[in-house]
Each structure stands twice: as C-alpha cells, then as structure tokens.
C-alpha cells in the first residue's frame, strides 16, 4: 500500500502526459468521423510519419553528440517540419484515397484507409530499414530540468507536452465554436446536403478537417518522440488504436469528447498499473472502453443518436 501511494503522483503525471498525446490524436479521428462518418485508419500512420520527420529535422541540428542551436528554435523547427509534412500528407490521402470513393459505400473508404495505412507503414519501413530512430531528447531538453514534487519527477519534456497539448486543445475548441471554419465544420457534420445549400463548400471543409487533424497528429508525433525517446515505423498502429479508443470513449464526432477521452484513457492506463502488472495496461484501457460503452453507449460527452428509421 505504501508503495502504491508513493507511486501515485508519478503515475498521474505519466497518465496526463500520455493522455494529452492521445487526446491530440483522437481529435483527428473525431473530426473526420464527425463530418464523413468514416474511420481514418491511416491517421495513426500519419502520426508515425510526423514523428519520423521530427527525428529527421532533429538530426540536422545534432552533430557528434551536441546540439548546434538553442532548444527553442530546434523544437520549433521540428514541430514545423512535422506539421508541414503531415498536413500535406493528410490532404493528399484525402484527395487521392478517399475523395474518389466518397460516393461508394462506407466500407470502400474504410478499406482504402487500411490500404493507405499499409502503404505508409511499408514506405516508412523501407526508408528507415526497419530500425528504431533515437530522439536525442537529452540534447534539446536537458534531463536536469526537472521538478521533484511528492516523490514524482516532472521532467521538462512532460511539462512541455502537457502544456502544449492543453493549449492546442483550447485553441481547437475555440476554433470549432467561434470561427467560420469551425461553424462550417459543425454544419457539414450535422447535414452535409443542407450545409451545401447554405453555400458552404463542404468539400473544402472536409479537406480542412483532414489537414488540421493531420497537422495535430504531426505535433503529437514529435511529442511522442521526445517522450518515448525513440520512434519506429510501427508506433502508428498502437497509438492509433489507443487514440481511436479515446475518440469512441469521449463520444466519437465530438471534439471536446475526444480530448476528455484521451485524458481519461491515459490516466486509466497509468493508474491501473498501480494495482495490476504493467503488462495488463492495454487490458485496463479496453475494459474502461467496454464499461463506458455499456453504461453510456454514446460516450462520455457524446449525444445519444436517435435511431433512424
């Protein structure tokens, strides 16, 4: 018991860090689902590409074990590089893998999404030769920069991840509720045809959702690299699964729900480890999902959908 209490603060911090990354990823799933009612299975792989691009940019600044520039500019250029590539990638996938199939059944886009995911994974495998790529996090964010409180070590990396994610989520929330694009997105997700009659170019809204979601995935990819300290071509799958679960947990199609789902999931994963062996952390995650789906099928913040006749 004493050991459990001693671990509690640290595990809460672990959970928040991981949860905020899940939340950023879940946003992408949720936005696309909300508008198109389709599951973008390639989203996890876009995130993986983002993390690899971040690594690539980092390598430009690292020579022989030292960083060539200050932390700030390095981190900003990593994020910038990742976001540019993933946004373009997300837009391209939408244009070539999904748009031509929009008129078909939902199943065809789902299969196309799986295909896009497999292509991204294999291209990444070939380019990285299957090797894990190490982020030299310690060169950019020194491991000495840490706060110790209540027996928990809060490293600067974690702090940055949590703060950046929360800032992004607030910005997203504001964008969805207050900007024209946000309104257009909500309108399109409620009824695409009606939105079109109102003069909204829904096709553009869809592209925007993909581009914004993929950009967020790019940021999440860089952050996961800094946090895990290494990335490889397979990380997209499990992270994608978790983020999708978070989106469902929070109520798929609901932006605030996705954020809440991500945080709940991250916390469940790391707090569950207090009582069960760490191998069971995925069991805990999916048990939470099942429990929520039984008790609240629409998710934590989702609205119940009336059965259409």
Binding site for other proteins (CB under 8 A): 3, 6-7, 10-11, 14, 17-18, 65, 125, 129-132, 134, 136-139, 143, 146, 148, 153, 155, 157-158, 224, 227-232, 234-235, 238, 269-270, 273, 277-279, 281-282
Contacts for 79 with CB less than 8 Å, ≥ 6 apart: 54, 218, 219, 222
Closest approach of Cβ 50 to other proteins, in Å?
15
Closest approach of Cβ 130 to other proteins, in Å?
3
Closest approach of Cβ 289 to other proteins, in Å?
18
Pick between residue 175 and residue 274 the one whose CB is nearest to other proteins: 274
Pick between residue 131 and residue 201 the one whose CB is nearest to other proteins: 131
Could you tell me the sign of the dihedral formed by the alpha carbons of 256, 258, 262, 265, in that order?
Answer: positive
Pick between residue 3 and residue 105 the one whose CB is nearest to other proteins: 3
**Which one, of 124, 94, 118, 114, lies nearest residue 211 by Cα?**
94
Closest approach of Cβ 3 to other proteins, in Å?
5
Closest approach of Cβ 158 to other proteins, in Å?
8
Pick between residue 212 and residue 231 the one whose CB is nearest to other proteins: 231
Pick between residue 130 and residue 304 the one whose CB is nearest to other proteins: 130
Pick between residue 98 and residue 233 the one whose CB is nearest to other proteins: 233
* CA dist 154 → 6, 23, 46, 157 (Å): 15, 20, 29, 8
Closest approach of Cβ 167 to other proteins, in Å?
22
């Amino acid at each position: 018991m004493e050991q459990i209490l001693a671990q509690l603060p640290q595990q809460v911090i672990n959970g928040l860090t991981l949860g905020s990354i899940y939340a950023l990823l879940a946003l992408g799933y949720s936005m696309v689902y909300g508008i198109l009612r389709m599951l973008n299975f390639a989203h996890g792989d876009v995130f993986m590409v983002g993390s690899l691009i971040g690594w690539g940019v980092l390598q430009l600044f690292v020579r022989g074990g030292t960083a060539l520039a200050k932390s700030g500019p390095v981190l900003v250029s990593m994020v910038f590089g990742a976001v540019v590539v993933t946004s373009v990638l997300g837009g391209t996938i939408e244009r070539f893998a999904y748009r031509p199939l929009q008129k078909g059944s939902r199943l065809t886009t789902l299969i196309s999404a799986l295909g896009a995911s497999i292509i991204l994974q294999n291209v990444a495998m070939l380019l990285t030769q299957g090797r894990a790529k190490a982020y030299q996090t310690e060169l950019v964010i020194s491991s000495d920069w840490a706060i110790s409180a209540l027996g928990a070590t809060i490293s600067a990396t974690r702090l940055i991840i949590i703060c950046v994610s929360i800032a992004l989520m607030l910005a997203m929330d504001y964008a969805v509720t207050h900007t024209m694009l946000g309104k257009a997105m909500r309108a399109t997700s409620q009824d695409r045809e009606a939105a079109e009659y109102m003069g909204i170019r829904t096709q553009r809204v869809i592209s925007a959702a993909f581009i914004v979601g993929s950009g967020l995935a790019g940021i999440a990819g860089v952050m996961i690299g800094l946090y895990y300290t290494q990335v490889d071509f397979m990380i997209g799958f499990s992270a994608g699964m978790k983020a999708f679960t978070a989106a469902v947990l929070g109520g798929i199609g609901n932006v605030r729900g996705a954020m809440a789902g991500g945080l709940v999931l991250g916390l469940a994963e790391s707090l569950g480890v207090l009582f069960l062996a760490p191998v069971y952390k995925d069991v805990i995650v999916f048990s939470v999902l099942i429990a929520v789906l039984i008790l609240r099928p629409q998710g934590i913040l989702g609205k119940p959908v009336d059965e259409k006749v």
